[in-house]
Chain A
Amino acid sequence: MNRMMAIVEREMRKFFRSPTLMLASMIFPLVQLIVLGNAFGGKIKDARLGVVDQDGGTQALKIRQAFDSVRANMRTFMPVYYNDEATARDDVRNGKIQGAVIIPPQYSRRVYEQDRPQIALVVDNSDNFMSSTLEQELSDITTALNQPTIEPRLLQQTVLQIVELYPYIEYMKYLLPGSITLAMFVSVMIGGGMLYIDDKARGVHEGYLVTPITKTEMVFGLNLAGAIKAVLTGVVITVIGALLAGVSTIFNPATVLGLFIMIGLTSVAFNTMMFLLMVRVDDPLVPRAIFGILNTLLFFPSGSIYPVQAFPTWLRVIAKADPFTYAVHGFKGLLLKESGLTAILPDMLYLAIFGTVALAIATPLFKRTM
C-alpha cells in the first residue's frame, strides 16, 4: 500500500509542478465548448433571399409583405428584389444571395380561382443547413397564407402540440456534458498515456522495477494517479463550463453528489482503458499518433455533439460500447435534466464494469520485467 501510494505521490507532485499540463488538458475542451457552442448554437440571420415578382398582383404583394415582416422581426433573411429570373438564379449559383423566390405570372389570378397557385424557391442545396432553414421559413409563410380568413370553430385536422419537458437548451449547454467528458479524456490521454510512455522510455519504470514493489501495486498506483488527475480536470471543467454555459444545476447538492460519482467513475473507466491500450507500448510516438484517432472514434459517436439516433447501425454499435456515450448521457441527465441518481444508474454501472474489466485485462499484460 505504501509503495503504491509512493507512485501516486510522485505522479501528483509532478502534476502540480507542471501547470501547463493541467491547462493543456482543460483548454482544448473549453475552447471547443465556447467556439462550437457559439458557432452552431445560433439561428440563421440576415441571409439574402432574392424575390422575382413576375405577377405584380395583390396576392404577390401579400407574399412580399410577409417577407418584409420577416426582415423586420426574425431577420432570418432580407429580401432582394430582382426583375428577371435568370439573374436571380445566377446570383444564387455565385453565392451573392442564398436563395431566390420566383412568383410566376398569373399567380394572383390562380389564387383567386383556386387553380393550383405555386411559387418557386431556388436554393443552393450544397449548403444543407442554409437551404433547410429557408425551406422551413418559406413553408411557414405559405402555411400562414393558406390559412382561411375566418378560422372554423372546431379544428377539422389533427394538430401536433409539442410539450417541451425542459426550458430551452442552447447548443452550448447541450455541448457541456461532452466537453466535460472530453476534458477528462484529454487528461487521461496526456497524464495516463503520453506521460506513462515517456516515463517508460526515460527509464523511470526501470527504477521502479528494481524495487520490491509488486505488479499489482504498480498497476494500481499508476491507475489511481491517472484517475485522480482526470477527476481534478473533470471538477474544474464542470464548474467553469457550467458557469460559461449558464447551467445553474451545479448548485443543487443532489446534482453535485451525482456529478462527483460520475466524474470519479468516468475517470476510472477512461484511465483503465488508456492503461490497457498503452500497457505494452514502448514507443513515445504511439500515444501521440493515436490521439486523434481515439478522439474521433470515442468522442464523436458518443452523442455529445450529434444524437446517436441519427447514426447508421455500425456507428451505433461503436456508440453502444463506447464509455464516452454513458459518461455523456450521465452528465446530460445531471446537468441539463436534473435527473436523480436512479435515472443514471445504468450509466454508472456500465462505467464501473468497463473500468473493472479493462483493469482485469491490463494487469496480467503488465510486465514486471523489461
Chain B
Amino acid sequence: MIAKANGKPAGSGCEGPDKQGQNAIDVEHIVKKYGDFTAVNDVTFHVVEEEIFGLLGPNGAGKSTLIRMMTTLLPITSGRAIVAGHDVSKDADGARRCIGVIPQALTSDLDLTVEENMNIYAKLYDVPAKQRKEAIDELLVLVDLTRWRDAQTKTLSGGMRRRLEIARGLVHSPRIFFLDEPTTGLDPVSRVAVWEMLTNIKKNRQLTILITTHYMDEADRLCDRIAIVDHGKLVALDTPAALKASVPGSNVIEVQFEHPPADLEQRLHSLPDVTSVQHEGAGMFRVLTGNGSLTTTALVEMAVHAGIPVKSLTVQSTTLDDVFVHYTGRQLRDELVKAYGFVMPQAPGLRP
C-alpha cells in the first residue's frame, strides 16, 4: 500500500490541513459564467472524507464544468471551492497535488505502453523513482492489467483503457479522486467491471471519490450521496435511499392503454394512494403510488369497467429515475448516450 494510515499519501506531495473533522471538498456558492450564459449557478455542497459522492445530471447540466472548476482546470467566476484544504483559486498547486483526475475523454497515449503511460504521469507528479515502480506494480494488480503492462495502449479494449486511466489517475496516491463520466460509452460488461474496480479501490485506499454520471444505476450502485444537477443548479442532495424516499409514493406503475379517453389522467389520479400521474404520450402513463398492489388492482378494475383495453402494465419500486423526474420534471434516460471512445472536450469559452 502506498497510502499511509493517516490518509496522507506518500509520493504525491499532498500537504495540507489534517483531514480529521474536515470535509474533503467544500463548494460554496460557486458560479461559472461564459459571457451572459451561466453554466453553474450558485452551487453549494460538501463532500466528506472517504465517501463516494455522485454528481448526477443530463449532458449539459453543468457537471463537467463543476468538476473542472474543482480540479483547477477552469477559473471560478464567483464563490469558492476548497479541495483537500486548499482553495483552488488561491493555491491551485496545493490542490493539484492532492487530487487525481480522470477526464471524460480517453486521453491515454495509444502509441505508449500501459506502463509508459503510468510512468509519465508519475513523473508529472514528481513521484520518486522507487515509489513510482511500487505504485505502478500495485495499481496494475488492482485494475487487473498486469499482463498488459508492456502492451501498447492501442491494443486494449475500451474498458481496459478506462481501467488504465483510472490506474494512471491514482499513480501519485491522491486523497481525492475525480472521475468525469468514467463509464460513458462502455459496454454493460465493462461498466460493471469499472464499478467493481472502483468499489475495490475504495475498499483498499482511504480515498474520497467524486464521480459525475448520467447513469442512474451507476449512481445508485456506487454513491454514498448524490447531488442532482440540472441547468447548472443543484436541485437535490442526499443519499440514494433518502432521495428515493423523498419522492411521494413508493411504487411506480407504468401502464399503457389503447385508445385512452381524454379524462383518463383524472381517473388515474382518483385511484387509491396515487400521488402523481404523468402522461408520457402514446397512451403511456407513469403512476406514483404509496401502495402498489392496491392501486394496481383498482386501476385494472377501473379499466375493465370503463372498457379501456390495457396494452401493458408494470409495477416497480421507486428508482433514481423517478427521483430525477420528480426534481427536474424530465427523464434522464431520454438523454443521448455519447459516442464511445474519442470525445471532443468542450472548447474553452464555448457553452458546455
Contacts and interface: CB of A to CB of B under 8 A. Distances in A.
Contacts of A2: 123, 126
A14 B112 contact: yes
Secondary structure of the A contact surface, majority rule: helix
Contact of B344 (A3, A201, A213): A201
Nearest to B75: A369
Contacts of B348: 282, 367, 369-370
B74 A369 contact: yes
Interface residues of B, number: 33
B63 to A, nearest CB: 15
Contacts of A62: none
Contacts of B111: 13-14, 17-18
A201 B347 CA distance: 8
Interface in A181-211: 201-204, 206-211
B103 A206 contact: yes
B55 interface: no
Contacts of A5: 123
Nearest to A282: B347
B107 interface: yes
A370 B123 contact: no
A203 B342 CA distance: 10
Contact of B107 (A7, A13, A203, A283): A203
Interface string B121-139: 1011110000000000000
A6 interface: yes
Contacts of A208: 124
A369 B73 CA distance: 5
B345 A206 contact: yes
Interface in A81-100: none
B291 interface: no
Contacts of A6: 120, 123-124
Interface in B66-109: 68, 71-75, 93, 96-97, 99, 101, 103-105, 107, 109
Interface in B207-264: none
B345 A201 contact: yes
Contacts of B109: 10, 13-14, 204
A3 B72 contact: no
B74 A207 contact: no
Given A211-B125, A370-B345, 19 more contacts: A3-B123, A6-B123, A10-B109, A10-B112, A13-B111, A13-B116, A203-B104, A203-B105, A203-B107, A209-B73, A210-B71, A210-B73, A210-B101, A213-B124, A367-B348, A369-B73, A369-B75, A369-B348, A370-B73
5 contacts: A6-B120, A6-B124, A201-B344, A207-B103, A369-B74
